[in-house]
Amino acid sequence: MMTARIHVTLKASVLDPQGSAVTKSLHALGYDEVADVRIGKYLEVKVNTTDRAVAEERITEMCEKLLANTVIEKYEFQLVEA
């Protein structure tokens, strides 16, 4: 069993309205030191695989096909034994 810790984030060139809203809310709460907020997704995917190379290939496929919208998002992941 392995766990893939996947981060899916907007590409740097893509506007993040959700992050802007959170920035404004934090300012309204008095956190004036906040310069920028970017919001992404974090997924933990457990797979019944023991072969790390196979797992990496399959997780990459899953990201490309379903988990990330590669037009506007990028993804990265670490595989850990679990």
Q: Residue 34 Cβ, how far from a second copy at the closest point, in Å?
A: 6
Cα distance between residue 68 and residue 40, in whole Å? 10
Distance, in Å, from the CA atom of 73 to the CA atom of 65, rounded to the nearest integer, reads: 12
Q: How far is the CB of 60 from a second copy (least distance, A)?
A: 12
**Residue listed under structure tokens 């933990």:** 44
Binding site for a second copy (CB under 8 A): 1, 7-9, 19, 22, 25-26, 29, 31, 33-49, 58, 61-62, 65-67
> Phi/psi class of residue 57: alpha, beta or left (left: φ > 0; alpha: ψ in -120 to 50)?
alpha
**Closer to a second copy at the Cβ: 35 or 53?**
35
Q: Which is nearer to a second copy, 41 or 52 (CB)?
A: 41
